[in-house]
């Protein structure tokens, strides 16, 4: 499937709406160049899950955990940024695997294509492309 959004607000709203389909245990893998909308997409998912905290890309800390307080089966959102990952073992060392496929967690991994060895069959990949002002989301 493909969705074309005209600006960051539309990308955010698409992801926010998509979050309503999540049940827990999903791993959303985001692939795209710098500026393609990965963090905007992550912010939209977080908003759709009812997270009120400001969402920033965890580029330098690799992983952030957010509490979900919307009375659903989803209790946490794990947000990983693999942009600076040189060795996939780094993701294992920070404890990320405990969140993967956990039924009470939604995991978002920006730059998931850098984690070839850890790739799970349950990943739902979103390919984001920046075409001037548009974001093209293939999923």
**Quick check: is 134 in a domain?**
no
**Quick check: is 71 in a domain?**
yes
Total domain count, the chain: 1
**Quick check: is 135 in a domain?**
no
- Neighbouring C-beta atoms of residue 103, cutoff 10 Å: 11
**Quick check: is 107 in a domain?**
yes
pLDDT beyond 90 at 122: no
Say what the pLDDT of residue 132 is.
64
**Quick check: is 138 in a domain?**
no
For 77, phi then psi, to 5°, come to -120, 125
| Cα→Cα distances 130→11, 24, 115, 127, 135, Å | 11, 29, 22, 10, 5
Kindly report, residue by residue over 47-102, the tens digit of the pLDDT: 999 999 999 989 889 999 999 988 789 999 999 999 999 898 999 999 999 999 89
Say what the pLDDT of residue 119 is.
67
Sign of CA dihedral 112, 116, 120, 126: positive
CATH code where residue 28 lies: 3.40.50.300
Burial status of residue 133 (CB atoms within 10 A of its CB: 0-12, 13-18, 19 or more) = exposed
Kindly report, residue by residue over 25-48, the tens digit of the pLDDT: 999 999 999 888 999 999 999 999
Contact 82, 112 (CB under 8 A): yes
Residue 118: domain span: 23-129
**Quick check: is 16 in a domain?**
no
**Quick check: is 139 in a domain?**
no
**Quick check: is 5 in a domain?**
no
Kindly report, residue by residue over 103-121, the tens digit of the pLDDT: 999 999 999 998 887 766 5
Sign of CA dihedral 68, 89, 59, 11: negative
Say what the pLDDT of residue 8 is.
92
Q: CA 42 to CA 39: how far, in whole Å?
A: 5
Say what the pLDDT of residue 129 is.
85
């Amino acid at each position: 499937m493909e969705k074309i959004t005209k600006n960051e607000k539309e990308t955010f709203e698409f992801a926010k709406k998509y979050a309503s389909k999540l049940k827990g245990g999903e791993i959303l893998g985001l692939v795209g160049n710098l500026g393609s909308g990965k963090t905007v997409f992550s912010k939209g998912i977080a908003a759709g899950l009812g997270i009120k905290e400001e969402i920033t890309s965890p580029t330098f800390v690799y992983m952030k955990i957010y509490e979900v307080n919307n009375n659903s089966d989803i209790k946490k959102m794990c947000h990983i940024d693999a942009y600076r990952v040189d060795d996939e073992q780094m993701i294992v060392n920070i404890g990320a695997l405990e969140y993967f496929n956990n039924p009470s967690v939604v995991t978002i991994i920006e730059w998931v294509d850098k984690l070839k060895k850890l790739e799970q069959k349950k990943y739902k990949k979103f390919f984001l492309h920046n075409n001037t002002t548009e974001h093209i989301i293939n999923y």
